[in-house]
Amino acid sequence: MDIQKVLSEMTLEEKCSLLSGADFWHTKAVERLGIPAMMMSDGPHGLRKQDQTGDHLGINDSIKAVCFPTACATAASFDREAVRAIGREIGAACQHEDLGVILGPAVNIKRSPLCGRNFEYFSEDPYLAGEMAVSLIDGVQSQGVGTSIKHFAANSQEHRRMSSDSVIDERTLREIYFPAFEQAVKRAKPWTVMCSYNKLNGTHASQNRELLTGVLREDWGFDGLVMSDWGAVSDRVAGVPAGLDLEMPSSGGSNDRRVLQAVREGRLSEEAVDVAAGRVLQMVDRYLTSRRPDTPWDMEAQHALARRIAAECMVLLKNEDDMLPLHEGEKLAVIGRFAAHPRFQGGGSSHINSFRVESLMDALQGMPGITYAQGYDVKSEEPDEALIAEAVEAAAHADKAVIVAGLPDSFESEGYDRTHIRMPRCQVELIERVAKANPNVVVVLYNGSPVEMPWLHCAKAVIEGYLGGQAVGGATKDVLFGTVNPCGCLPESFPIKLEDNPSYLTYGGEGDVAVYAEGVFVGYRYYDKKKMDVLFPFGHGLSYTTFAYANLRLSADRIRDTDALTVSVDVTNTGKRAGKTVVQLYVGDKECEVFRPVRELKDFAKISLEPGETKTVTFTLEKRAFAYWNVKLHDWFVESGAFTVEIGRSSRDIALSSEVYVEGTQTVPMTVTPDTIYLDLMKNEKARRVLAPMMEKKRLLDNENGSSSEAAAEAITDEMNEAMFLYSPLRAMVSFDQSMTYDEVQALADEINNA
């Protein structure tokens, strides 16, 4: 399509009307010019394609589709290829259904376990979230279908989601809340970005120029379309020049008319409308040139893939006495409603109408020695004596009890936040009572976000299954019996209790103001710095085999920040089973002017090893791995100094550690004033040069004077003297020794600045 030509043939009214959807899921057609409508659908872990009676909360039915493991689960796979494979399948399904864009991935950071929508998000770690987003987008778009990475930005709570103002400092945004979007935009080039409901630092995301144009387009080079989250538009006229191209779903034409009027009255330029309308046409054009509605959609094959990947997402949290894997022939009590009716996805816009759901009991069908007991109900938290008694009885007669527990739908969902992270009382009591009847308890959890585990001592083995998609039952069986060796790792920290979480004091905000007061110290960045015990750390995940790490090698012990550093490590499977492990690479700045975490994930690799096999894993670290966001430079900056390079099994289990000195090649500009203190002056090359003669004079004088008496020497120690000096401003010369006037000090400051 010749977009400029089409635009030139359109009336202003037609162009304005293109800036909002025709209905819940379609763009508007311009029949006169042969431009068809384009359909999009949620996302992100399968298709929620609805007809005209659409809604954005997953209320009305959508077509039958395949529900893949949700983002909380796929992030635990730490497997880029697995996520790409899901993306490819979703893309193919979209082609089959003639959809232009799928609304996802959702990459908001898990600031608190309370966020009702955490199940749809990847991680508390921006690097991991970014890698997962890039993989999913790559996969979908390889099929000629667009994605809409969402919700841009800083939408880490559901509480007051349409009115809340996320107040976040520049460095925290750049280091924590932006990178997943940034990486995706730069590397995977999503066709579209969806702005969030919330305000960011006082301005609605949907009309935030700094966000939608400054950061997204000017800094990161985004050249696709920005659409609003469903109903996120406040002032549509302000949104157009800010960079919001498409309002979704629609305003019944009323906002289009406001835009039209603003152009007519000269409050908005026609060029701004052309830019936005041009981007809508560009998206439709991409759809038209890539559509392949004859693409087959093999749901059974996708179900099998969903099962394989769900198994590789499961995290073995604990495994005492080699409780797992289970062995065929063991007498098993399988307990818990979720064993027969799994919770495998979350509520809201991502809710898929699965064509088939496979429970653990389905997967175990025909296997001898299995007794099932429901154990609890999901409608009430109250322990049900009869159900518990039945479960206890089953456990008492079994070799092992497998309890499938977790969070019922009402405990976490899009649209509202959790108020606590406890499991339902009936489930906790069930676990405790079953453990009394049979000490060999295995707990499998289906939940979208961390829970407290006061019952942990009652279970010898625990699997975190997250919300594993429609094939979760088969996947659970595969992991329990060791057909698949567990290889997932936690993409988030599990705190001992909610109150430990760094955002606990301010999460949710006061009224509409949500200050992200913990700054960059989100998740393990906080727990590690505080040396706080957690229930399970970020990156934790066991296997039925063991892995040894050796020979951490760095390509240099000193680099400049413009050089790359190669890091390699040998990993050996020291157990008796084949297995996969996630090699995690962390970097930490040993000393820095700004507050930084002890370590941050900078790369990872998931590798597969036969028993006894060794593989060398090699990573390449570039400037960004060492840099922090400097708010004076408004750029990434490496402060010269030593950095730790660590290989971990989790953020708390560091297997190998080394160090590299990185020399920063940028300088942070400094403007000296009479108020600048000597501590800062002495770090500045120009200031040191200009002040050198003065400093020499001071040294001589100090030597000459010494302390007048022993008592004086005690009252003013050398350390104190030094500190008093370093913390004094340049203008101290005016008030203390009166060696200069204020004007002379100002002249000195100017001299340094001009040196």
Could you count the other beta carbons within 10 Å of the beta carbon of residue 253?
Answer: 14
Q: Minimum distance from CB of 731 to ligand BGC (Å)? A: 54
Q: Is the dihedral of CA 76, 82, 86, 91 positive or negative?
A: positive
User: Cβ closer to ligand BGC: 345 or 545?
Assistant: 345
Q: Minimum distance from CB of 195 to ligand BGC (Å)? A: 11
* Positions in 172-191 near ligand BGC (CB under 6 A): none
CA distances from 475 to 69, 82, 98, 308, 689 (A): 10, 14, 31, 7, 68
Q: Minimum distance from CB of 417 to ligand BGC (Å)? A: 14
Can you read off the two tokens belonging to residue 494? 């599990």
Could you count the other beta carbons within 10 Å of the beta carbon of residue 721?
Answer: 12
- List, as one string, the DSSP characters of 126-170: HHHHHHHHHHHHHHHHTTT-EEEEEEETT----TTTTT-EEE--H
Q: Minimum distance from CB of 416 to ligand BGC (Å)? A: 12
Residues whose CB falls within 8 Å of the CB of residue 714, separated by 6 or more in sequence, listed in order = none
150 near ligand BGC (CB under 6 A) = yes
User: Cβ closer to ligand BGC: 43 or 113?
Assistant: 43
Among 7, 15, 16, 42, binds ligand BGC (CB under 6 A): 42
User: Cβ closer to ligand BGC: 319 or 349?
Assistant: 349
Q: Minimum distance from CB of 350 to ligand BGC (Å)? A: 7
Q: Minimum distance from CB of 382 to ligand BGC (Å)? A: 32
Residue type, 142: S
Dist CA 547 CA 225 (whole Å): 45
Site residue total, ligand BGC (CB under 6 A): 8
Classify 108 in phi/psi space as left (phi over 0), alpha (psi -120 to 50) or beta: beta
* Positions in 660-689 near ligand BGC (CB under 6 A): none
DSSP classification of residue 26: B
DSSP classification of residue 100: S
CB neighbour burial string for 688-717, b if at least 16 within 10 angstroms, e if fewer:
eebbeeeeeeeeeeeeeeeeeeeeeeeeee
Q: Minimum distance from CB of 349 to ligand BGC (Å)? A: 4
Give strand pairing partners of 39.
26
User: Cβ closer to ligand BGC: 349 or 630?
Assistant: 349
Residues whose CB falls within 8 Å of the CB of residue 174, separated by 6 or more in sequence, listed in order = 629
Q: Minimum distance from CB of 575 to ligand BGC (Å)? A: 42
* Positions in 528-567 near ligand BGC (CB under 6 A): none
User: Cβ closer to ligand BGC: 103 or 115?
Assistant: 103
Contact code string over 101-140 relative to ligand BGC, x by CB under 6 A: --x-------------------------------------
Q: Is residue 229 flagged as an active site residue?
A: yes
Q: Looking at 125, 165, 229, 561, which residue is catalytic?
A: 229
Helices (H), 10-48: 12-17
User: Cβ closer to ligand BGC: 55 or 702?
Assistant: 55
Q: Minimum distance from CB of 229 to ligand BGC (Å)? A: 5
3-state secondary structure of 676: coil
Place of tokens 């429970």: 359
Contact code string over 473-502 relative to ligand BGC, x by CB under 6 A: ------------------------------
User: Cβ closer to ligand BGC: 111 or 477?
Assistant: 111
Whether the CB-CB separation of 454 and 414 falls below 8 Å is answered with no
* Positions in 340-399 near ligand BGC (CB under 6 A): 349
Dist CA 500 CA 80 (whole Å): 31
Burial of 6 (0-12, 13-18, 19+ CB in 10 A): buried
Q: Minimum distance from CB of 414 to ligand BGC (Å)? A: 7
User: Cβ closer to ligand BGC: 164 or 349?
Assistant: 349
User: Cβ closer to ligand BGC: 143 or 228?
Assistant: 228
CA distances from 158 to 20, 166, 419, 507, 524 (A): 25, 12, 12, 11, 22
Contact code string over 58-97 relative to ligand BGC, x by CB under 6 A: ----------------------------------------
Contact code string over 566-585 relative to ligand BGC, x by CB under 6 A: --------------------
User: Cβ closer to ligand BGC: 229 or 245?
Assistant: 229
- Name the nearest CA neighbour of 188 among 228, 152, 136, 143: 136
CA distances from 383 to 310, 390, 394, 430, 433 (A): 30, 12, 17, 8, 11
Active-site amino acid positions = 229
- Residues of this chain that bind ligand BGC (CB under 6 A): 42-43, 56, 103, 150, 229-230, 349
